[in-house]
Structure 1
Amino acid sequence: MGFAFPVRAVIAPLLLAALSSCDKTKPAEAPATASGPMVQRAYVWQRDWRPEVSRSIAAHGGAFDSLAVLAAQIEWKATGGEPSVVRPPIDWGALRAAARPAGLVARVQRAGEGRMVAEAVIRVLLERLAEAKAASVPVSEFQIDYDCAQKNLEGYRQWLASVREGLRSTGVPLRITTLPSWLGEPAFEKLVDGVDGYVLQVHSFDLTALGKAPTVCDPVMAREWVARAAKLGRPFHVALPTYSCIAGYGPDGRCLGMVADAGHPTWRWDARVVEFTSDSADLAGLVAEWTKQRPAMMQGLYWYRLPVDGETYNWRWPTLAAVMSGRVPMARWEIKAAPGSPVDFVLWNTGEKDDLLPRSIRVTRPGPPEAVVADGLGGWQCKAAPDHVDFQFPTQGRPIRLAPGNSMPLGWIRYQEPPPPDMTFSYEIVR
C-alpha cells in the first residue's frame, strides 16, 4: 500500500536545488595573457624591386625578426585556364645581407577552380623556395594572402588543405592572412586549424561611409577583433598598417575611386578628396598596450609595409621606428633663413612623421630696415605687413604633407638695404 506522505513537498525543494546548481554555471575563463616585447615582422610588398627597395632592406631590415616578401601574385581572368602569375624580381642578395629570415607570400588576387589554385600556389612557392635556398636566404614561413568572400571559406579550406599537403615535405610553416569579418563564420575555425597560424589584418576602411573617421585602422575595433580572435584559442599574429590612401567623392557623396601606393587621381574638378590615414599615435598606443599585456595566443605583429624612399602613401622610417617601440612620433617644424638679399626662408620637417603643412607661418623681423617686397615660393602665398610676413599654403581640399627630414621653400623677403648677417627672425606656426 505505501506511505501516504506529501511527496510533492519533498521533491520540489530538491528539484529547485538541482536547478539552482545548474544555473550557477562556471564563468568562462579569460584567455591567458602575455607581456613584454613582441615579435615584429614587416611585409616587403613590391612588384617592382627598384634600387630603393634593396636600400631600405639594407638600412632597416635588421630591425625586424623577419621580412615577409611578396613572392608572387596569382590571378585568374576566367574560372578555367591558366592563371596570370607575376613574380617580383626579388633581390635575394639584399635579403641575405639583412641577415634575417624571409617569409614567402603568395597573393591570390582572384581564385579559379580549387584544384588549379592549389597547384599554382604550390608550384610558385616551391620555385621561390628553391631560389631562396640557392641564395642562402633562410625561409621562415609560407603565407597565402587571399581575400576570400566570407561565405566561401569552406571552399577556401578545401584547396588550402591541398596546398598544405603539397608543401608539407618542406617543413616550412604555413600561415594565411584573414579578415576580421571571418571570425564569426562557422567555417573559420576549421580553416585556421588547417594551417600553422594566421595573420589577422585589422586594417580596413569603408569607402562608402563618407563622414566617418577617415582612418585605415580603428584602434577600438582592432582591440575588439583581437579579443575575439583570442577566444578561439588558435595562434595568430596581427597585421597593422603604415599606409594611407585618398578617396574622391562626387557632389552626391558617391565614391569616385581610391588611390594608394602609386598613381594620381583623375576625378572631376569638384570632387571632395578624403585622406584615409594610419594614425601613428593610435597605433603607437596599441603597441604600448599590447607590450604591457596581450592575449597569449597573439604571437606578434606584421607591419604593412616596409618604408621605401620615394613612396607617396606610406610612412617613412622614423615614424615606423617610433611606433614599433610604442612611442608616439614627435612632430616638429623649423624655419631656416639664408642670409643675404633677399633673405630666403625654408620650411623643414625635423620631426618623426609625415605632417600636414601648417595653415600659416608668420615671420617677424626684429626691426629696421624696412622690407621692400616679399613673395612666397613652392605654392606658398604671402601677405606682407610693416613688421611681419604671413605665408599661407592653399591646399584646395587636398591634404599636403611633408615627410620627416624633408624641406620645401617657403618664400623670401627683400629689404631696401642688405640686413646685417646676424639678424634673427621669430616664427609663429599655426597648424
Structure 2
Amino acid sequence: MAWLGKINAQQTRARRIVCAAPLRDDTDRMHRSLCCLCLSLLALLCAACSPPASAPLDQQVYIWQRQWQPAHRQVLAQTRNDFTTLRVLALQFHPKVGWARAYPDLQQLIADGRPVVMVIRLDGQLPQPDQAQTLSQTDSLLTEWQASGVNVQGVEIDHDCASARLPAYTDLLAALRPTLPAGLALSITALPTWLNSPDLEALLRQVDSSVLQVHAINDPRDGLFAPQQAQRWAEAYGKRSEKPFMLALPAYGVALIDASRQVESEAPLDAGGSRRELLADPQQVANLLTSLHERRPENLHGIIWFRLPLPGDRRAWPLATLQAVMHGQPLSAVITVDVNQAGPLRELTLVSNGNRDAGLPERVSLAGSHCEAADAVADYRLEQSENGPVFVRKQPARLAAGQRQALGWARCSLFDQGAIHVSP
C-alpha cells in the first residue's frame, strides 16, 4: 500500500502549508480553518481505510498419547501460556483392529480449562468408513466427555483418505454434522494431495475449519518436512478454502526399520532390524514460521503442533525446543561435560545445555590430567595420548536439549577440570 503512504505524506505537507500561511483578514482566517478541518477529516478517513495489522497466528497442540501419564499434568501446566487449545486423540479405527479408545485423563482436562477438540482418527486405508458406526461412536464419546465437564469446543475427524474417495468422505461429514450439538465446531485434517481434486470445495463446505498437514505426507522415507514445499501448499490451500484453516507442523521424529521397511514413531514396534532416525529440523520449521508471518497465506488462522512432548518421549522435540521455535527465539546447541567426583574417581557426563538437539562431540580429551585408569561407555571408546585420556565417538549421534548421557570415567591423582577439551 505504498500509494496510501504517499497520500498521507502529501496531506501532511498540505496541512503545514495551509495552516502556516500568513493571515490577511477574518475571511482568510475562516477559510484557513475550513481548509484545515477538511484536510484533517480526509486524513482520518484515509487512516480508517488502512488495512488492520494481521492478528498473530493462533498456537494449538495435539495430544496424541493413547494412555495418559502423570507427566501430562506437569507439561500442561508448563504450556498454559503457549497453546490456546488442546486437540486430544480420543478414538481410532483401524481395519485390522477395529475401534480403539484413547484414555486421556478427563479430570486433568477439566482442571486445565482450555478449550478441547476431540479428535477421531479413521485409518486412511479404509475403503469406506462405516457411517452408522462412526456417528454412533462419536455421539457416545462426545456425550461422555461433555457430561464429565470437559470444555469440548469441537470434533475433528482425521481421515487421510485417497483423493478418489473424497465424495464418500463428504457424505460421511454431511451425515455427521447434524448430529453434533449446536455451537460445536466440526473440523477435519486435510492432505496436500487433495489440492488436485475438484471435490475439495464440496468437502470443505461440510466443516467449519480444516487442518492442512504438511509433514510426512507421502512417505517418511522421503523426509519428514520441506519448508518451501509447505509454504507453497499452504498458499495453494488458502486459495481453495473459503473458511479458516490451520497448519499442522511437525515437532517429532520417526525411525525407519530397514528390515521390514516399517515406520516407528511414538510407540515402539515389535520388529527387528536396524533403525534410521529422522527428525524434523527445528531450524527449518522456524524458517517456515518466519516466512508465514512475512507472507501469510489467505485464511490461515494458526498453527497446530504435533505433538505435545513428554519427558522420555525420545522422538518428540523437547519442550524447550518447541517453545523456542514457536516464540521465535534463537536456537542454540551447546554440549558440556559434567564431572561428578568421588575421591580420585571422576564420572564424566555429556550435557546438552542449549534449546535444541546437538551432535555428540567427536572427541573429549582430558589434557594435562594425571589419570591412572579410565574407560568410555555407550557411544565412545577410549584412546590414550601423551597428554591424557581421549574419548572418541564411535558413530554420529545426537543429544536432545536438556538430555544427559554418560561419557565414561577416569581415576586421576591430578585433574584439572579446565583442561577438558570438547571437539565438535
Deviation (angstroms), 1:84: 2.2
CA distance in 2, matches of 1:329, 1:171: 41
Residue of 59, 70, 82 corresponding to 1:40: 59
CA distance in 2, matches of 1:112, 1:225: 25
Pair 1:128–1:206, CA change in 2 (3 A): closer
CA distance in 2, matches of 1:256, 1:112: 21
Deviation (angstroms), 1:267: 4.1
CA distance in 1, matches of 2:80, 2:140: 24
Residue of 416, 419, 422 corresponding to 1:426: 419
In the alignment, residue 150 of structure 1 is paired with which amino acid? S
Deviation (angstroms), 1:304: 0.7
Pair 1:205–1:112, CA change in 2 (3 A): closer
Residues 153-192 of structure 1 aligned to structure 2 (within 5 Å): 153-167=166-180, 169-192=181-204
Match in the other structure for 2:136: 123
The size of the alignment, in residue pairs, is 372
Q: Does 2:249 align with 1:240? A: yes
Please give the secondary structure, in 2, of the residue aligned with 1:295: coil
Deviation (angstroms), 1:159: 1.5
After superposition, give the CA deviation of every residue in 1:307-327 in whole Å (9 maximum; x if it has no partner). 112212111100110111123
CA distance in 2, matches of 1:290, 1:33: 17
Deviation (angstroms), 1:157: 0.9
Q: Does 2:383 align with 1:383? A: yes
Residues 14-413 of structure 1 aligned to structure 2 (within 5 Å): 35-77=54-96, 84-109=98-123, 117-167=130-180, 169-204=181-216, 207=219, 215-234=223-242, 235-249=244-258, 256-263=261-268, 266-268=271-273, 273-339=275-341, 340-365=343-368, 370-395=370-395, 400-413=397-410
In the alignment, residue 126 of structure 1 is paired with which amino acid? D
Deviation (angstroms), 1:111: 7.2
Assess if the C-alpha contact under 8 Å between 2:190 and 2:211 holds in 1.
yes
Assess if the C-alpha contact under 8 Å between 1:362 and 1:428 holds in 2.
yes
Assess if the C-alpha contact under 8 Å between 1:247 and 1:257 holds in 2.
yes
Deviation (angstroms), 1:96: 1.8
Deviation (angstroms), 1:205: 5.3
Deviation (angstroms), 1:196: 0.8
CA distance in 2, matches of 1:85, 1:34: 45
In the alignment, residue 146 of structure 2 is paired with which amino acid? K
Match in the other structure for 1:22: none
CA distance in 1, matches of 2:256, 2:52: 39
Taking structure 2 as the reference length, the TM-score comes to: 0.80
Assess if the C-alpha contact under 8 Å between 2:212 and 2:245 holds in 1.
yes
- Report the more deviating stretch, 87-96 or 173-182: 87-96
Please give the secondary structure, in 1, of the residue aligned with 2:202: helix
Pair 1:208–1:338, CA change in 2 (3 A): closer
CA distance in 2, matches of 1:33, 1:203: 31
CA distance in 2, matches of 1:123, 1:358: 55
Assess if the C-alpha contact under 8 Å between 1:38 and 1:300 holds in 2.
yes
Moved over 6 A (4+): none
Assess if the C-alpha contact under 8 Å between 2:371 and 2:414 holds in 1.
no
Assess if the C-alpha contact under 8 Å between 2:371 and 2:411 holds in 1.
yes
Deviation (angstroms), 1:206: 5.1
In the alignment, residue 302 of structure 1 is paired with which amino acid? I
CA distance in 1, matches of 2:336, 2:270: 31
After superposition, give the CA deviation of every residue in 1:101-140 in whole Å (9 maximum; x if it has no partner). 10001111267686x7333232233333323323322112
Match in the other structure for 1:27: none
In the alignment, residue 227 of structure 2 is paired with which amino acid? P
Deviation (angstroms), 1:300: 0.5
In the alignment, residue 402 of structure 1 is paired with which amino acid? L
Please give the secondary structure, in 2, of the residue aligned with 1:334: strand
Assess if the C-alpha contact under 8 Å between 1:34 and 1:294 holds in 2.
no
In the alignment, residue 109 of structure 2 is paired with which amino acid? L
In the alignment, residue 243 of structure 1 is paired with which amino acid? Y
In the alignment, residue 381 of structure 1 is paired with which amino acid? R
Deviation (angstroms), 1:297: 0.4
CA distance in 1, matches of 2:331, 2:112: 25
Structure 1, unaligned runs of 5 or more:
1-31, 78-82
Pair 1:67–1:401, CA change in 2 (3 A): same
Deviation (angstroms), 1:286: 1.4
CA distance in 2, matches of 1:332, 1:414: 26
CA distance in 2, matches of 1:113, 1:166: 23
Please give the secondary structure, in 1, of the residue aligned with 2:276: strand
CA distance in 1, matches of 2:382, 2:281: 31
Structure 2, unaligned runs of 5 or more:
1-50
Identity of aligned residues (%): 29
Pair 1:131–1:208, CA change in 2 (3 A): closer
In the alignment, residue 108 of structure 2 is paired with which amino acid? A
CA distance in 2, matches of 1:175, 1:264: 30
